[in-house]
Amino acid sequence: MIAIASDHAGVTLKSRLIEVLEKTGRQVRDLGPASEESVDYPDFAHRLADEVVRGTAEVGILICGTGIGMSMAANRHPGVRAALCHDAFTAEMARRHNNANVLCLGARVLGTGVAEQVVQVFLDHRFEGGRHERRVGKIEIEREDS
């Protein structure tokens, strides 16, 4: 299951990506919004991150104008490794080396064709483990109570 969400700037790209993903037989859950009416991107990033952390979605895709805000909000959740990707190479490395489980895209940064390619590459690759396992394990930090 792939969870997908956006803010108002990403609604059009989100709709296109859902269409493409469903045509390839992938299960997609649209977490909103349904229109281009202004919304607050953190609300949708948190909703999607919760789905990934709970395991109801294997991976997530978040879209806003630049992808920056979505990635910042999603990465506040322990267990989420959200990667802002601008091309096929960064999408591949995010999965293979960083074990990213959320892909963030900028609707105002990427053309539709590039976005489709980035999503496909992200979904087609898996974490390599090995030397990367230790590094990924160091991403989460434990805080001492003050």
Tens digit of each residue's pLDDT (9 = 90 or more) over 79-88: 999 999 999 9
Q: What is the pLDDT of residue 134?
A: 78
The CATH number for 2-137, chosen from 3.40.50.620, 3.40.50.1370, 3.40.50.300, 3.40.1400.10, is: 3.40.1400.10
Contact yes or no for 47/66 (Cβ under 8 A): no
CB atoms within 10 A of CB 65: 17
Residue 64 designated active-site = yes
Confidence of residue 25 (pLDDT cuts 50, 70, 90): very high
Point out the catalytic residue in the list 46, 86, 97, 125: 97
Q: What is the pTM of this model?
A: 0.94
Domain ranges of the chain: 2-137
Residue 46 designated active-site = no
Could you tell me which residues are beta bridge partners of residue 61?
Answer: 4, 103
Point out the catalytic residue in the list 64, 77, 85, 104: 64
Tokens of 22: 């469903």
